[in-house]
Amino acid sequence: MKFKIKHAVITAVNAVTLTAICVLTIIGNSMAKSQQYNYAANRWKNDSKENFSQVSTFFSDDSGFNTDSLNAVRSGLIKELNDASFPTEDGKLPFADAYSTSVGTVTVKSDTTGKSDADLTAVGGDFFLFRNFELADGAFFSENDLMQDGAVIDRNLAWLLYGSYEVTGMNLYINGIKFYISGVIETPSTKPEKHCAGKLPKIYISYDGASGLSMVSDDASDSEIVSEDIPEISKGFKNITCYETVLPDPVENFAYNAVKKQFSESYKDECSIVNNSERFSPSSRAKALKKISDYAVVKKSINYPYWENASRIVEFKLSFIYFFRRILFVIPALTLLWIVVIILKFLKKMKPAVIRAISIFIDRRQRNLKQRLVKKQKKV
């Protein structure tokens, strides 16, 4: 009776444990996939059979990394690919990249009476590939567009300016400079993104567009500054605080190491490099608890955009989820070991009987063979 109860309890404990592991896995996967900006490699490679990884680098405001540094970084990455015997085409990047920085808070006006403060970000490269924003209206602009006066705004800003979400093609004015609305995007949807994005509406323009901005609004006096947050841009807007790339990854960590090689020495204390493609893996997050202080204590004055801060929040939570899940695996592992021990003991106990059975079987086979040989000889 006790034997049966013991096995029933062990079976029940393992059933509950495996269910908990499955639930934690589903929760973890759901949380990770909610941060879609980390999956640009999947969107870029599409149906390609090659492996690609996404790597992001974040800089402090005074790191010195800017648009003049891009070509050197891109050339360095191409050299790494060539050294790894990965085929590249002259004049064409064999990878995707994007760069951006927060310009600050600006005042945005419409052709009517609509007006609002907004958080302005200057963007370049394949920025919208990495963001994976959901379009509510219109389309994204590109750095290949003939005119660089397009702006992507969120639904909140569209409503504040024109009282509608369908405003593609309409004008808006940033400090007196006219832009047209290229597209309208949905506002952040996940709890971490909402928390990190803040309440200000969002607007995205190209670096060329940011370079043309004036410090003075169209109806302000010469001495009135619209926003103290906007940096001096009279010589062109060049500062980069976020550089992202999707690189071929022919061997493990090739992409991460290639990017790290470009920045680790020159910007050692002024940058933070993130392997987006691996950051949410269970093994990475479970191990990250050893460095959990990195999330609690800011050691570098890095300028993280809201989407990265949201992902860091998810990383923090997943570290505990996957660490606890790893502990739960101990129970079925010990149960399996216990079963193996029982089987070995049973086999040891049954060894004499098994040997006798095998011996009897062999003897019978030998007698049968002898009888067949005798019958054949008699027939002959």
Find the helix packing angle between 306-328 and 330-379, rounded to 10°. 60
Q: Find the mean pLDDT for residues 43-70.
A: 88
**Per-position DSSP letters for 230-281, written without gaps between them:** SPP-TT---B-SEEEEEEE-SSTTHHHHHHHHHHTTTTTTTEEEEETTTTT-
Question: Of the given ranges (33-37, 198-202, 258-262, 264-268), which has the lowest mean pLDDT?
Answer: 264-268
Whether the Cβ atoms of residue 35 and residue 247 lie closer than 8 Å to each other? no
Long-range contacts of 70-75 (CB under 8 A, 24+ apart): 70/99, 70/240, 73/243, 73/262, 73/263
Whether the Cβ atoms of residue 133 and residue 189 lie closer than 8 Å to each other? no
Contacts of 143 (CB under 8 A, 6+ apart): 124, 125, 206, 207
The pLDDT of residue 230 is above 60: no
Task: Give phi and psi for 52, each to the nearest 5.
Answer: -130, 150
106-145 confidence digits (pLDDT tens)? 999 999 989 999 999 999 999 999 998 999 999 999 888 8
pLDDT at 380: 58
The pLDDT of residue 221 is above 70: no
pTM, two decimal places: 0.80
The pLDDT of residue 4 is above 80: no
Among 73-82, 121-130, 293-302, top mean pLDDT goes to 121-130
Q: Which amino acid is at 163?
A: G
Strand partners, 57: 243, 273
Residue 248 CA, distance from chain mean position: 16
Q: Find the mean pLDDT for residues 368-380.
A: 71
